[in-house]
Each structure stands twice: as structure tokens, then as C-alpha cells.
Amino acid sequence: MESTKSSKAVSFLSVLIVILLVVIAGLSYVYYQQKKEAKETETMLLAEKDSLSNNLLNLMNDYKDLETDNDSLNRKLQMEQERAQKLYSELQNLKRVSYAKIKEYQKELGTLRAIMKNMVREIDSLNTLNQQLIAENIKVKEEAATAKKTVKELEQRTEELNTQVAKGSVVKARNVTAVALNRRGSETSRASRTAKIKTCFTLNENAIAKPGSRYVYMRVVGPDDFVLAKSETDLFDFEGEKIVFSANREVDYQNKDIDMCIFFDSSGELAKGTYKITLYMDGYMIGYTELVLK
């Protein structure tokens, strides 16, 4: 009977040992699986952390690449770039990585990306507007240059027309003749007997010339190329200069042909040779002739 009891005790202990071994084996398997899963989770979380770090670095570089001339946008870009830098530093200093932290940083990254997209659209819109303004400015400058060129051409054309009108309004002299007179008023060809030089001519009819009183000036240049003049102060305007005249006469010109003569009184004996006689009126040379004295 004692043998039976001892046998039963051994059997119970054997069963108990088997059960304990099974429990230990099960617990070991569960522990191993949990440790394996924890390792896999840690590896995955570290990979997510690295991915987030790379995305933040790319985002910061994208912020650096954005360019704009708008000061307000530049301040926003700087602020968001600093925000991304701060988030990146926090992520690098994170010792214990968890799903909750990863989700938090992913949400922050998504917010930064959304802000960046909006800023890119705003910058593109400003750049488009700037391009339009530049194009409009170029167009305005081109139109202004064209208008300036047109005005200049019109001014040149007006000046040309005015010059043509001025030239057309010049009253010319025709049939210009010169003779030498002695003291009795008779014509002579002798230089020694000449007391006066008489120059006669006809002022032509000119419908567009300005009517009214004006002076006709006569210049007599002797064989020695000196102008015969009574005084050095006898001057008139010609081509922007004051030049001396030999004699002058006032005439009331009324746009019709008018015959007239001008006399130069010699104060001394004249030299032999050719005398060049030129007529001027209204600042223009209007006639020319020569007189030869022996």
C-alpha cells in the first residue's frame, strides 16, 4: 500500500514537472516573440525617425532655394525655416522613439509642407505679377520711345518745312548792275575819276514774303579784298555774325516787283581792278554783280 502511494506521488511529480516545463517553454516563446517584436518595432521607429530627419533636411533646403524680392515673404520664409530647423534638432536629440512621437513629428512636418506649398504659390503669383509689370513697363518704355521718336521726327520735319518756307520767303534781286559815276554824275570806267558806285536792281515779287519796311545792304569788296566802308560801326546781321556794309537803303516792300538803286560815295581815289558787289536783305544774300575799273 505504501508502494502504491509512493508510485502515485512520483507520477504526480512527473506530471507537474512536465506541466512546468511546458509553461516555461511557453513563457520563453512568448518572451522571445515579444522581444523580437520590440526589436522590429524599434527598428521601424528608427527608420521612421531617419525618414523624418531626411524630409526635414529636404524641406529646409527647399526653403533656402525659395527666392523673392518681397520683404514680408522673406520674413515668413525665415521664420518657417527656423521652425523646421528647431523640429529637426528636437528629432535628433530624441532618446526614446515612440509611435506617439513619430505621429507628432509627422503632423508637424505635414504642417510645414502645407505652409511651404502656400508660400510657393504666393511667390509664383508675385513673380507672375512682377513679370507682367516688367512686360508692361517695357511696353510703356517702348511706346514712350516710339512717341519720342515720332515727336523728334515731327520736329525735324517742321524745322525742314520752316526752313523751306523761310527760303521760299526770301526776296531775291534780279538784273543787278553796277556802274561808276564821276563827280558830275556821268558814268565812267576810270578808277581815278570814280566818285560813286551806283548799283541798281529789281526786288522780285514774292507772295509769301513778309511785307513792310526793311533795309537792303550793299557790300563792295575792292581788288585788295577789303570792304569799302564809311565806318567800322556800319554793321548788319548775317548768318549769326555782325559784318560791315558799304551802303544801305530802306525800302517798303509790298510783295511786288520794285526797282531801286543804292549809291556808295567814295571818299578817296579807288584802285584799278574788279570790285565785287553783294546785296543782302533779311539776313540773306539776295544778289551779286561785279564792276571793273581801269
Mean pLDDT of 279-290: 94
In the chain, domain spans: 27-142, 173-293
DSSP string, 135-180: HHHHHHHHHHHHHHHHHHHHHHHHHHHHHHHHHHTPPPEEEEEEEE
Q: Please say whether the beta carbons of 190 and 294 come within 8 A.
A: yes
Distance CA 91, CA 106 (A): 11
pLDDT band of residue 88 (cuts 50, 70, 90) is confident
pLDDT band of residue 277 (cuts 50, 70, 90) is very high
> For 67, phi and psi rounded to 5 degrees?
-125, 140
CATH code for 173-293? 2.60.40.2560
Question: Which pLDDT belongs to residue 138?
Answer: 74
Distance of CA 28 to the CA centre of its chain: 85
- pLDDT tens track for 211-243: 999 999 999 999 999 999 888 899 999 988 999
Q: Which residue has cell 528629432?
A: 91
Among 11-20, 58-67, 69-78, 150-159, the range scoring the smallest mean pLDDT is 150-159
Distance CA 192, CA 276 (A): 18
Distance CA 198, CA 186 (A): 11
Question: Which pLDDT belongs to residue 293?
Answer: 93
> 196-205: buried (b, 16+ CB within 10 Å) or exposed (e) per residue?
bbbbbbebbe
Q: Which three cell numbers stand for residue 168?
A: 521760299
Beta bridge partners of 97: none
Question: Which pLDDT belongs to residue 161?
Answer: 47
Q: Which residue has cell 527666392?
A: 67
Distance CA 294, CA 283 (A): 33
Considering just the CA atoms, what is the radius of gyration of the chain in Å? 58
Distance of CA 185 to the CA centre of its chain: 74
Which sign, positive or negative, has the C-alpha torsion 145, 146, 149, 150?
A: negative
Distance CA 205, CA 211 (A): 11
Q: Which three cell numbers stand for residue 210?
A: 513778309
Amino acid at 89: S
The percentage of residues in the chain with a pLDDT greater than 70, rounded to a whole number, is 74
Query: Higher model confidence: residue 101 or residue 1?
Result: 101
Q: Which three cell numbers stand for residue 145?
A: 520711345
The percentage of residues in the chain with a pLDDT greater than 90, rounded to a whole number, is 35
Q: Rounded to two decimals, what is the model's pTM?
A: 0.48
Beta bridge partners of 221: 227, 276
DSSP string, 190-252: -TTT--EEEEEEEEPP-TTSPPEEEEEEEEEE-TTSPEE-S-TT-EEEETTEEEE-SEEEEEE
Q: Is 279 helix (H, G, I), strand (E, B) or coil?
A: strand
Q: Which three cell numbers stand for residue 176?
A: 543787278
Q: Does position 65 have pLDDT exceeding 60, yes or no?
A: yes
- pLDDT tens track for 34-52: 565 546 656 666 677 677 7
